[in-house]
Chains A and B, each alone.
Chain A
Amino acid sequence: KAGVTQTPRYLIKTRGQQVTLSCSPISGHRSVSWYQQTPGQGLQFLFEYFSETQRNKGNFPGRFSGRQFSNSRSEMNVSTLELGDSALYLCASSLAGGGARRETQYFGPGTRLLVL
């Protein structure tokens, strides 16, 4: 079974631009979560989508948004990019996720975003 895939793997943007990242979950997985990884803040939860609905949200500004499609693929969007948005963005999928605390989340390789 193919793992979680994320595209693109690398991105360079300038301040003020917007960016869209894509995540394809493991086949059959319906939950997709997004995390931001930075050297200073570590791994932080952005949001989780399940059945095309945002089920949980972390403590990030409204510039960070996401969506999920009927095939469970997910995108996240960051508008008005700031230098501090430079990070590795990780997507994870699980069968049901959210309230199913026992489930394992499987991570993709990440998208490394550099904001200049």
Chain B
Amino acid sequence: AQSVAQPEDQVNVAEGNPLTVKCTYSVSGNPYLFWYVQYPNRGLQFLLKYITGDNLVKGSYGFEAEFNKSQTSFHLKKPSALVSDSALYFCAVSSNKLTFGGGTRVLVKP
């Protein structure tokens, strides 16, 4: 069975500082990993995905994620956070469905 863990319920960061949201996964076979963001009263918006190839994946809105096979991690990063990045972030692994982590709430303070 596959699973995803997001160890932090909430991450607080000052605007302009680097943002990291952590994700670890467990899956048999090759992992297909995704990050989504959810703003209040909205659905999930796709940010980026790792399928194969470069371990550093670039996505929307300046986000990127680093795939680390030995640590089974897929952390989401942004070099300089904006107040508008405040939202709920979900990591997911794909098989015949998406299995999501519990989500991490990001609060960027001005």
Give A residues with C-beta under 8 Å from B: 4, 6, 33, 35, 42-43, 45, 48, 55-56, 58, 90, 92, 98-99, 101-110, 112
Chain B's closest residue to A98 (CB) is: B96
For chain B residues 64-103, which have a beta carbon within 8 Å of chain A? Answer: 90, 94-103
* A108 touches which of B36, B43, B96 (Cβ 8 Å): B43
User: Would you call B51 and A42 a contact (CB within 8 A)?
Assistant: no
Q: Count the B residues whose beta carbon is within 8 Å of the partner chain — how many?
A: 22
Give B residues with C-beta under 8 Å from A: 32, 34, 36, 41-46, 49, 51, 90, 94-103
Chain B's closest residue to A43 (CB) is: B100
Note all chain A residues with C-beta closer than 8 A to B51. Answer: 102
Chain B's closest residue to A4 (CB) is: B43
Check A42/B102 contact, CB under 8 A, given A4-B43, A104-B34, A107-B43. yes
How far is the CB of A52 from the nearest CB of chain B, in Å? 18
Most buried by B among A33, A42, A55: A42
Q: Bound state CA distance, A55 and B96, in angstroms?
A: 9
Note all chain B residues with C-beta closer than 8 A to A92. Answer: 44, 98
How far is the CB of A10 from the nearest CB of chain B, in Å? 10
Q: Bound state CA distance, A45 and B95, in angstroms?
A: 12
Note all chain B residues with C-beta closer than 8 A to A35. Answer: 98
* B97 touches which of A33, A107, A108, A109 (Cβ 8 Å): A33
